[in-house]
A and B are shown apart, each in its own frame.
Chain A
Amino acid sequence: MGEKENAFLSEQLRSYYAEHIVPGVPEIHEREFGIGDFGKKIVKRHMAFSGEKELNQFLRSEAPPFISYSAAYYARPSFRPMEGKGLEGADLIYEFDADDIDTECKEEHDEWQCRKCGSSGKGAPKACSKCGAGVEVKQWFCSKCLQAAKEQTFKLIEVLSAELGFRDGISINFSGKAGFHVHVRSEATKNLSREARNELIDYLTLNGFDFEAHGFGQIISSGPSKKSAILSCPIPSKSKGVTKRFMDRLVSFIENWNAEKLAVHGNLKRKESKFLLENKDRLLEKMEQGILFPVNAVKPETSGKFWRLLLEEALAEESINLNIDRQTSVDIHKILRVPDSIHGGTGLIAKSISLAELKGFDPFKDAVAFSGGAIRVFINKAPKFSIGGNSFGPFESVETELPLEAAVLMIASGRAEIR
């Protein structure tokens, strides 16, 4: 980003903060703050504010592109080093970033270039399709990716409240770019140890899920060999928590998959999967009795393998259902965007949202900080996008006039220069 662009964005931030109050975070005087510039989200830490007034005075005078605060509470938040701050507990925090969720729309709006051979293309692969080397990905985000992040956020909150019992003190905010942050603040969670937080993350991501511990795979009756044993499962209607989610998924495979899908995922012959579907009701009836029905009467050893494969599939699907950034949640000293501050990489507000508002939330309408006026810019490359109720692009090496909110988005994301 050039000096002109830097100065332009700084001016916009300053005028935003001059006219808008950013609500202070809970227990603000116990939090460590950090700020970033247009090149890096965190360039300075160990800052502290006594209250909302002092925070906003700082924002008005310095207008930092990024401002973050700690999940942790400290006796001396501005003390250095970290060990001397006097940790007094921390919120639970979870972050969902659409950049980390595999969505089809990435093929439309993300672009990659190989660092080694220079090949390029659409999408966000992990490696170059030509030479296998590392790639640089230019990411964008759209309403589809955000929808995926929203679904994960809803799922998380459902698990936090219905299973873990953390109903109080949950707050959500848009990250300002491509995702959402969920904070849990309560006396019950404030003093959880690092190990306990790891356990919670393992719970949410199903890390360490043990089939036998949940009642799967115990031999109810066995034939001539272990391979022909009839295996147990938890009873779907009596299951709770993770077990229930898992059983619901397993039942849904049986109820909804066609013969081909069962054959592929369960390593069955077509004839075997057809037999299974013909006996679907009996299968489900047996599951309700805690039994995994032998799917092949002639070759019972096929049954064990089939159920094992389906269990693995259910686990894989349920695991990616909550694609949580582990690092954010286990690092007790992590600092995260201040809700309702501006994200310097987009110019959007990291808006606080209620659970009821989340469903209909559209950051390109509801988190727009700037409006009015038009700015002449040269855009290098940008996919089609919407902001403030209007659509723009796609653009490639073109000079054009954009309304302020669109110009800020283009410039802040490094795709345009001021003319």
Chain B
Amino acid sequence: MISMEELAFAQKFPFTKTSRSLIKQLNASFDSISEQTKKTAVARISAAFKRKTYSAEKLEGHSDLLENDLLSYPLAKVYLSVIDDSRLHANFAKSVSDSAFNFMEQERGGKLKLRLAKELGIKVDMPFEGTFSVSVPDYLASHTRMDSLKLVNQSVENGFVELNKERFSRFLAGRIFTDVIKSLPVPLDGVPRQVKEEALGLSDEVKHKRRVAFEKITGAIRPELFPPCMEKLYADLLEGKNLNHFARFDLTTFLNAVNLPESEIVKAFSNAPNFDESITRYQVRKLIKGGAQGKGYSSASCSKIKTHALCVADCDVRHPTQFYRRELAKAKAKEEKPKIEEKSA
């Protein structure tokens, strides 16, 4: 008999061993999936696409509804695996980890956090009340984008990182993100055709909405003329891949140098995992308007980009903006040539 308490825990934290064990006990099959479960699975993916947190309904006291909700998580993962869109996977992982973070923040003490850590296989000590200590390798296995959570900004001694409650919750959320991303795609053997078709329907919708959003962002900038290094970073960003600190710095300053407006740069970063608009806006502004004279940081030269291990081709230029301006001039000349030839004919 599955207890209500365990069902409620699993509903809030569907990525846990507890949840997986309960799902196994339910012995569900694709044939028995209810419409409600499908609807909830789609709602999870929709929230992910909109970069929102999926809020599990409070269904305490209704074990059958909780069970349906529980099953919607692995179903959502099946749908995502059929869609096979890494950006959407990243958004989904963020949605799950943000939801978990919100639940953890509702707790005053550390009991829930410690339980989650155990579920994730992380060994934690509590040297003092409100202080959590995890090993450096465990800390590094957690994905996080916030500068305040970088290892360099933590209290590190003797191989352990000491975290206060909030940072510990964020660390766990980062680990949840990493684990969910790693769990996708799931194997699709034995998934019925109908389920795959349902997923493909969702995929078309996602692609259409994304195309519309992309066209709004790029405007007059021509990403197809970017130098290979920036083209790759920009593509990675739009695909939802995580860019490291140097990549973000170099791409932002480059986009600024080619006159992409601040608001559009922020929008481009909205595809990134763990996107937080206010933090991103602050960081972008700092780069494009900060610096010693308030003129922003200049975009990196090719030699700097090589030092950052971001160079991907030999372009025979010294600066990425040099490449872009050259290619832009060539493209414009080519586009204008037929008009000139038409006129003179």
Chain B binder among A79-87, A324-332, A344-352: A324-332
Min C-beta distance of A79 to chain B, whole Å: 22
Among the 9-residue stretches A22-30, A163-171, A400-408, the one with 4 or more Cβ atoms under 8 Å from chain B is A163-171
* Contact of A202 with B309 in the complex, beta carbons under 8 Å: no
The yes or no answer to B209 lying at the interface (CB within 8 A) is: no
Residues of B within 8 A of A240 (CB): 155-157, 162
Contact of A210 among B153, B156, B157 (CB under 8 A): B153
Does B147 sit within 8 A of A, measured CB to CB? yes
Tell me the complex Cα distance, A64–B307, Å. 29
In the bound complex, CA of A372 to CA of B31 (Å): 85
Given A202-B245, A330-B309, A163-B156 contact (CB < 8 Å): yes
- How many residues does chain B have at the interface if contact means C-beta atoms less than 8 Å apart? 26
CB distance from A83 to the nearest CB of B (A): 15
**Alpha-carbon gap, A143 to B58, bound state (A):** 71
Q: Does A243 contact B (CB under 8 A)?
A: yes
B143 touches A195 (CB 8 A): yes
Give the Cβ gap from B344 to chain A, nearest Cβ, in Å: 43
Check A213–B147 contact: CB distance below 8 A: yes
Cα–Cα, bound, A160→B18 (Å): 37
Q: Are B143 and A199 in contact (CB under 8 A)?
A: no
Contact (Cβ within 8 A) A202 B155: no
How far is the CB of B317 from the nearest CB of chain A, in Å?
A: 15
Whether, in the assembled complex, A192 has its beta carbon less than 8 Å from a beta carbon of chain B, the answer is yes
Indicate whether B136 reaches chain A with its CB closer than 8 angstroms.
yes
Assess whether A203 is in contact with B307, with CB atoms less than 8 Å apart.
no
Contact B245 A208 (CB under 8 A): yes
* Given A195-B143, A196-B141, A203 and B158 contact (CB-CB distance below 8 Å): no
Give A232 to B258 CA distance when docked, in angstroms. 40
Most buried by A among B141, B148, B159, B245: B159
Q: How far is the CB of B150 from chain A (nearest CB, A)?
A: 5
**Cα A322 to Cα B298 with chains together (Å):** 25
Question: Which residues of A are found within 8 Å of B244, using beta-carbon distances?
Answer: 195, 198
Please determine whether B307 and A326 come into contact, CB atoms closer than 8 angstroms: yes
Q: Is the interface of B mostly helix, strand, loop or mixed?
A: mixed
A210 B245 Cβ-Cβ under 8 A: no
Report the Cα distance A202→B151, complex, angstroms.
8
The interface bits of chain A over 172-200 (1 if a CB of B lies within 8 angstroms of the residue's CB, else 0) are 00000000000000001100110110111
From B140, B143, B242, B307, contact of A192 by CB (8 A): B140
Q: In chain B, what residue has the closest Cβ to A215?
A: B155
* Cα separation A80 to B140 with both chains bound (whole Å): 30
Question: Are B137 and A241 in contact (CB-based, < 8 A)?
Answer: no
Nearest opposing residue in chain B for A209, CB measure: B152
Task: Choose from A199, A214, A243, A330 the contact partner of B140 (Cβ within 8 Å).
Answer: A199
Q: Could you tell me which residues of chain B, from 125 to 162, have a CB within 8 Å of some CB in chain A? A: 135-137, 140-141, 143, 147-148, 150-160, 162
CB nearest neighbor in B for A159: B156
B155 touches A210 (CB 8 A): no
What A residues does B135 contact at CB under 8 A? 165, 188
Tell me whether B150 and A208 are in contact (CB under 8 A).
Answer: yes
Indicate whether A277 reaches chain B with its CB closer than 8 angstroms.
Answer: no
Give the contacts of B152-175 with A (CB-CB under 8 A): 152-160, 162
A206 within 8 A of B: yes
> Min CB distance, A259 to chain B, in Å?
26
> Which one of B137, B152, B153 has the greatest number of beta carbons of chain A within 10 Å?
B152
Besides the known contacts A189-B137, A193-B141, A202-B245, 5 further A-B residue pairs in the complex with CB atoms under 8 A apart? A202-B151, A208-B245, A240-B156, A240-B157, A327-B307
Q: What would be 24 A-B contacts, judged by CB atoms less than 8 Å apart?
A: A165-B135, A166-B159, A188-B135, A195-B244, A196-B140, A196-B141, A199-B140, A199-B152, A202-B150, A202-B151, A202-B152, A202-B245, A207-B245, A208-B147, A208-B152, A209-B152, A210-B148, A210-B153, A213-B153, A214-B153, A240-B162, A241-B156, A242-B153, A327-B309
Q: Which 9 A-B pairs have the closest CB atoms?
A: A165-B159, A213-B153, A196-B140, A241-B156, A240-B157, A213-B148, A203-B152, A203-B151, A188-B137
